Structure 1
Amino acid sequence: MVRTTRNAGEHLQSLVDDLADDLGRSVAVNDPVVRVLCTSRHFGDEDRLRVRAVLQRDAGAEASEYILGQGVARWAGPGVLDGCADLGMNSRLCVPLREQGELLGLLMVTDADSTLTAAEITRIEEVSKTAAALLYRDRLAADSDRAEREHTVMGLLSPDPAARHEALRAATGYGWPTDTAQVVVSVLHVRGRPTADAETELALRNVLDSAARRQPQRLLPAVADGRGVLVQVRRRIQYDEALALVLRMAGGLGQLLPDEGTAVAGVSSTGDGLDSAWRLLEQARVAARGARLVSGLGPVATWESIGAYGILLRLPDAALEPALIPDPLARLLRHEKGPRLAETLKAFLDHGGSIPRTAEALHLHRTSLYYRLDQIRSITGADLDDGRDRLLLHMGLLACDLVPTVPR
């Protein structure tokens, strides 16, 4: 969802207020990832979740995950959202707001005791059609402005100095911080979907625009080539908060397209000045690729968390094949005891060749560890006291996590 204009927002608010007065119940309209767009006054039926949402304009990540987890993004019509005591949430009637097949928002009416009548539900459905039309009209009106802003964001991320220079001039006109700010760049995409898929692009726009709506000068989104990009720019970045935002976006994207793949994201390190964003983009891309390919890194990986994988993840897909595995390691993997010995070797190398720490990590007696290391030396022909041999084997083990099938 994109930010509604003032006029459209007033019309939507009036619609919600009239419906709430007619029903004598609390009503709210949220965007597709359950961030508040507008709410009515309370009617004595408010629960803790609604109070929080009204005060903070956001129900919170746990509530969003719970609501989307009930499949509302794929509902064809009204349905009941089950309550949750842990969230302080009573049951609600929820109507997806769609236009031209596109999910634009969620209209919710509090119904803790399931007493809405058929006539009231019909009235809610009628209002939902008008609400969807208002949101769709506003989206169309905002498309040209969004296209210009996205063009500027992509210019800031361009390797072309001239394009970046022009984009920085435009950024100043938008009021975006430039020289005095810190920057973090994130890349978000869905594993297993075509890059040109229209449904994926809409879902990406929903989660990115939802995040950026309240801070349009600090959160700069763009969608290109089936990937979402978010540039977070602040005078001082709180990295934990920046990462939490991306985690929430990945979760929301996964819920909007749950049957088609897993949402993954990569988050760069922190840079100084908006002109550093283009360098950080590569870090975010590599980290996102790590989240997609390396078990245990995802769904959101940071540049720091991928460590030495960052070297291998810069290789093209065509290079990630069994031939990438060094011959000494390939011999070990083909051995009948290969999996166990490879696990031992990885622990030994991960712990810097420390026998005590490796034995403790593997819950092995040191004598057993020495025996396994001797087997590894014999099979691989590698000298585990030689730094270059260790590096070769260690990088080879990391490559095994990226190669679809390792040599057998």
Structure 2
Amino acid sequence: MAGDDVQSVVDALAVRLGRSVAVDDQAIRLIAASKHFGDEDPIRIRSVLDREIPHHLQRWVLGHGIADWTAPGRIGGHPDSDFGLLPRLCVPVRCHGVLLGFLWLIDADRDLADSTVQTAVDAAETIGVILYRRMLLHERERSVAEAALRNLLSPDAEDRRRAAEEIQSDGLLSASATVVVLAVEIDGESDRDSSLALETAVEHVQRRQPPATFLTLLQHRRAVIVLGSARPPREGAARDVADRIRARFTELAGPGRRCAVGVSAARPGLESVADAHRQAATAVRAALLLPMFGDVASWSALGPFAMLLRVDFDQLAEELPFPGVRDLLADPANDLLATSAEEFLDRAGDVAASADALHVHRTTMYHRLKRVEAVTGLNLDDGLDRLTLHLALKLTRINSAHRTATR
């Protein structure tokens, strides 16, 4: 079979057979496709345009068990004719026993001759060798990139300097770039499927980014992503990336699984990645623990939580270090008082606005605040006492969310 790359093998096979040919990877994402010979169906056309087919069809195709096939076989057309997926010959693409993808011939009339099938098998073997070499090269490149990013996150300045030089010399990311770091984390316990979904989602988005602008480090249930650009990124660009990763993760892992993303501020140069990562890690903690921030939290939007979320809650005593509010926070019977006090403090001491938010009369609100003062011994007309109570309430909320998450 002529050619030393997948596309040339696919084109040569298509001309030889007079049929359109496509090769997908293991997740049914298009690698290469030939010109059409009038045998294409709507799904083949969509695959060429989008480089993949809808996820529910991916699951349906993989549901035939083709990932375990070692010889060619056929799958029937999709039972819903609206999808326009005709019967196909599927030839697994393997090398050294490793599944690398699938070669497809549309077989609407189920009339492929044995010689045609064997020719397709021979082409799949050639493609397997090419993809195997490509996989080894990709793994080496990925290993180099991840090692460089680990060093870029090092607390040691010399490690960071050397990593920045390596990244620049290898063309992985511009050393003069403005960088934004994303910290992505799966909520709850991770398993093999959710970790694979996260990895696939990140790679899916990375393939759609310009070269030398996207560097990743995957760590099971977490991912660190460095976005680089020659000039400050447009507002919302990092959030767009975060939203696409989350959407793809949910599509792959299912609606019962959630991942959150923290987004750092834009920082100048590669050696600031470690600082930006600390910001992103704090922001993703906010997204995981505090519903008010949603699933994507930006460092710039954290306000005082940027400091509060850096508390080491594993070392925090059972009783927060605010003795004046111990009784208020320790007794569940006082939950309504604590909620009222937090609303009052969040609204800068505006009693009317707080009463409206809680749907109570202002007299009731004044009564609750007097009871808060009686229980805590604090004076809510005193700025320092207000700060003490506000900090205690916010830390209690975060600590409660942290304990729930770790359970």
TM-score for the superposition, normalised by structure 1: 0.72
Partner of 2:398: 401
Query: Is the Cα–Cα contact under 8 Å of residues 251 and 263 in structure 1 kept in the other structure?
Result: no
Partner of 2:268: 272
C-alpha distance in 1 between matches for 2:44 and 2:324? 58
C-alpha distance in 1 between matches for 2:274 and 2:315? 25
The 1:177/1:219 distance shift into structure 2, 3 A limit, reads: closer
Per-residue deviation at 1:374?
1.7
Gaps (5+ residues) in structure 2? 67-74
1:285 to 266, 281, 285: 281
Mean CA deviation greater in 275-284 or 324-333 = 324-333
C-alpha distance in 1 between matches for 2:149 and 2:212? 12
Mean CA deviation greater in 335-344 or 41-50 = 41-50
Q: Matched residue pairs, number?
A: 383
Partner of 2:72: none
Matches within 5 A, 1:279-358: 279-320=275-316, 322-324=318-320, 326-335=322-331, 337-358=333-354
Per-residue deviation at 1:393?
1.9
C-alpha distance in 2 between matches for 1:118 and 1:375? 85
Larger radius of gyration: 2
Partner of 1:209: 203
Partner of 2:7: 10
Query: Is the Cα–Cα contact under 8 Å of residues 19 and 127 in structure 1 kept in the other structure?
Result: no
Query: Is the Cα–Cα contact under 8 Å of residues 309 and 398 in structure 2 kept in the other structure?
Result: no
Which SS does the other structure have where 1:278 is aligned? helix
C-alpha distance in 1 between matches for 2:35 and 2:311? 56
Per-residue deviation at 1:198?
6.3
C-alpha distance in 1 between matches for 2:61 and 2:370? 57
Q: What is the identity, as a one-letter code, of the residue corresponding to 2:206?
A: A
The 1:245/1:355 distance shift into structure 2, 3 A limit, reads: same
Partner of 1:143: 139
Query: Is the Cα–Cα contact under 8 Å of residues 242 and 296 in structure 2 kept in the other structure?
Result: yes
Per-residue deviation at 1:97?
8.2
Mean CA deviation greater in 142-151 or 72-81 = 72-81
Per-residue deviation at 1:307?
2.8
Which SS does the other structure have where 1:319 is aligned? coil
Per-residue deviation at 1:141?
3.1
TM-score for the superposition, normalised by structure 2: 0.72
The 1:380/1:141 distance shift into structure 2, 3 A limit, reads: same
Query: Is the Cα–Cα contact under 8 Å of residues 35 and 210 in structure 1 kept in the other structure?
Result: no
C-alpha distance in 2 between matches for 1:328 and 1:98? 69
C-alpha distance in 2 between matches for 1:134 and 1:80? 30
Query: Is the Cα–Cα contact under 8 Å of residues 4 and 130 in structure 2 kept in the other structure?
Result: no
Gaps (5+ residues) in structure 1? 1-5
Q: What is the identity, as a one-letter code, of the residue corresponding to 1:315?
A: V
Q: What is the identity, as a one-letter code, of the residue corresponding to 1:395?
A: L
- Residue 182 (structure 2) pairs with residue 186 (structure 1): yes
Matches within 5 A, 1:168-187: 168-176=164-172, 178=174, 180-187=176-183
The alignment yields a C-alpha RMSD, in angstroms, of: 4.7
Write the deviation string for residues 120-165 of structure 1: whole angstroms up to 9, x where unpaired.
9xx8x98998778865553233211221122222222222221122
The 1:75/1:386 distance shift into structure 2, 3 A limit, reads: farther
Per-residue deviation at 1:280?
0.1
Kindly indicate whether structure 1 or structure 2 has the higher relative contact order, using CA contacts under 8 Å at least 6 residues apart: 1
The 1:76/1:128 distance shift into structure 2, 3 A limit, reads: farther
2:149 to 135, 153, 170: 153
Per-residue deviation at 1:316?
2.6
Query: Is the Cα–Cα contact under 8 Å of residues 295 and 401 in structure 1 kept in the other structure?
Result: no
C-alpha distance in 2 between matches for 1:387 and 1:105? 66
Mean CA deviation greater in 266-275 or 332-341 = 332-341
Matches within 5 A, 1:38-53: 38-39=32-33, 41=35
2:160 to 146, 149, 164: 164
C-alpha distance in 2 between matches for 1:192 and 1:128? 44
Partner of 2:69: none
Per-residue deviation at 1:276?
1.6
Matches within 5 A, 1:53-132: 54=48, 76-77=65-66
